[in-house]
Structure formats: structure tokens, C-alpha cells
């Protein structure tokens, strides 16, 4: 497992890329502005939620298992949001 700082940087990097893709979709006419505003807010909420989860792991759960599940959930949610950007 990477350390918490690296995991937080990775989460921030991926969320920043999602935000850039979403804004680019607005400018190139792929997305409507109404849908994109909600999508931008959900990306920001996801970023805040997962950063908080990295900082405060669940007590009683082995760290390796907790952070593995955290990465899986983040990947799934980020993929879902990316799909919504280009729909």
C-alpha cells in the first residue's frame, strides 16, 4: 500500500482530470450546462469524501483491506462519473 499522502495526491489528480474533462465537454458542446453543473458538484463531493476516508480509516478493519476497498470504490465511482461526462 502506498502511503496516505500518495493516495491523497492520486485522488486529487484523478478528480482534477475529471473536472477538466467535464469543463472541456461544456466548451465543445458535448454536455449541456444543466447536467454539467450537477456533475461538477458530484465530482467535488466525491473528492472530499474519499480524502476524508483516507484520513480517517474505519476502526477494527485491517488497513490493507480497508485501503484496498477504498481504491476499488474510488475507481468504480470515478469510472461512472467519467461515463456520465461523455453521455
Give the number of residues written for the chain: 87
pLDDT at 33: 67
Alpha helices in the chain (DSSP H): 4-27, 33-55, 63-85
pLDDT at 1: 53
What does the alpha-carbon distance between residue 33 and residue 85 come to, in Å, rounded to a whole number? 11
Q: Which of 68, 22, 64 is nearest to 44 (CA)?
A: 22
Q: Which of 41, 14, 26 is nearest to 85 (CA)?
A: 26
Q: Which of 55, 66, 10, 73 is nearest to 81 (CA)?
A: 73
Over its length of 87 residues, how does the chain's per-residue pLDDT go in tens digits?
Answer: 568 899 999 999 999 999 998 888 878 876 666 778 888 999 999 999 999 999 888 888 898 899 999 999 999 999 999 888 877
Amino acid at each position: 500500500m502506498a502511503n496516505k499522502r500518495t493516495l491523497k495526491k492520486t485522488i486529487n489528480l484523478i478528480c482534477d482530470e475529471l473536472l477538466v474533462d467535464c469543463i472541456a465537454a461544456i466548451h465543445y458542446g458535448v454536455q449541456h450546462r444543466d447536467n454539467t453543473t450537477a456533475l461538477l458538484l458530484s465530482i467535488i463531493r466525491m473528492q472530499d469524501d474519499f480524502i476524508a476516508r483516507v484520513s480517517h480509516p474505519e476502526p477494527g478493519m485491517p488497513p490493507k483491506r480497508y485501503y484496498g476497498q477504498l481504491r476499488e470504490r474510488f475507481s468504480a465511482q470515478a469510472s461512472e462519473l467519467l461515463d456520465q461526462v461523455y453521455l
